[in-house]
Amino acid sequence: MSTTPALSVLDLVPVRTGQTTPQAIASSIALAQAADRLGYRRYWFAEHHNMPAVASTSPPVLIAAAAARTERIRVGSGGVMLPNHAPLIVAEQFAALEAIAPGRIDLGLGRAPGSDPVITQLLRRSGTTSEAQQFPEHVQNIIQLMERDGATVRFTSGGTYEVTATPDASSAPEVWLLGSSDFSAQLAAQLGLPYVFANHFAGDGLERAMALYRQGFQPSERHPDPRSFVTANVVVAETQALAEERALPQLRQFARLRSNKPMRKIETIDEVRENPSDALEDSLIQQNRQRWFVGEAPRVADELRAFAETHGVDEIMISPSAGAYRTDPLDETPGRLATLELLAAAL
């Protein structure tokens, strides 16, 4: 395994104070183009719903936009929250994406709903959505549906029905399982699929999940060996002080989430300065900060190399979590772009 991990990007399409959805999406598409230019391996969009600070509600739409504006980088979902969707719809969407950008599409699948119980219920009102307890079966269904031969539906009364996600597939997206629990790690091992540990929001369980995945891995036709990487929150700037300042808005957003405070658009750095955190927020910020990679490029690069070596991975997917100043252009994301550029140059 190389001592220098490959770099990828996870994007939640953050929305800051004063920013519209079109501006937030424009800044993320520009960031995907930069990642493509800088040699990053893949660029994934997360799925979240009804959150003022997150515009990544529809990964397939964002993936299509990013694929059309990039040339080399793999684009995908980090991930599609399968309980919200019918497996056939997911298979059709990603088969179409694979046809648009052959060999560049990743389908990351998650078991969580990606929102609160009310939104989850709204997403399931059509009666066509998946249930979490059927997740293993639906993952396998999606894989079969995207293959050239498709899947066979067998009726209890007898007879079969052939179903494909697209008329004549020449290739299929690469499927990954995402998670922060033992369940996803063990299922990925059982099915012989690649696995991603969501370290960017999970505080514990990384070592155990990775051990369970590798120890229980059952080779599959596409994946004879276990394959995994981890995510991480990263902020890189020209100085340590600037990086720490850039990290504050997202750190406080995490603190508000953990303390069940009303969610809002991500504050600018100026707003954080003008409205100091309370004692609980400060405590949560300090706890989260210990798990983040924040600083000048050489230092963060060394820390990421060590992190990759410790956990036996050759790739790290960074969530570029740099905040913005009030004067930053609304359709650009200078802090996140600097993180990608400086880190790529250091690694």
Read off the CATH number of the domain in which 248 is found: 3.20.20.30
Q: Which of 170, 167, 216 is nearest to 195 (CA)?
A: 216
For residue 132, give the DSSP letter: G
CA distance 281 to 194: 36
Is residue 279 included in any domain, yes or no? Answer: yes
Tokens coding 171: 């290739």
Residue 123: predicted pLDDT: 67
Instruction: State how many domains the chain has.
Output: 1
Residue 260 lies in a domain: yes
Asked if residue 73 is part of any domain, the answer here is yes
Residue 30 falls inside a structural domain:
yes
Q: How far apart are CA 41 and CA 267, in angstroms?
A: 30
- Distance between CA 299 and CA 336 in Å, rounded? 17
pLDDT (tens digit, 0 to 9) for every residue of the chain, 347 residues total?
447 999 999 999 999 999 999 999 999 999 999 999 999 999 999 999 999 999 999 999 999 999 999 999 999 999 999 988 899 999 999 999 999 999 999 999 998 765 566 766 666 644 445 566 789 999 999 999 999 989 888 887 888 899 999 999 999 999 999 998 899 999 999 999 999 999 998 768 899 999 999 999 999 999 999 999 999 999 999 999 999 999 999 999 999 988 888 889 999 999 999 999 999 999 999 999 999 999 999 999 999 999 999 999 999 999 999 999 999 999 999 999 999 999 999 99
Beta bridge partners of 10: 44
Cα 95 from Cα 232, distance rounded (Å):
29
Host domain of residue 101: 6-346
In a domain, 1, yes or no: no
Q: What is the pLDDT of residue 257?
A: 87
DSSP line for 207-270: HHHHHHHHHH----SS-SS--EEEEEEEEE-SSHHHHHHHHHHHHHHHHHHHTTPPP-SBPPHH
What are the DSSP calls for 46-90, one per residue? ----S-TTB--S-HHHHHHHHHHT-SSSEEEEEEEEGGGS-HHHH
> Residue 116: what pLDDT?
64
DSSP assigned state of 16: B
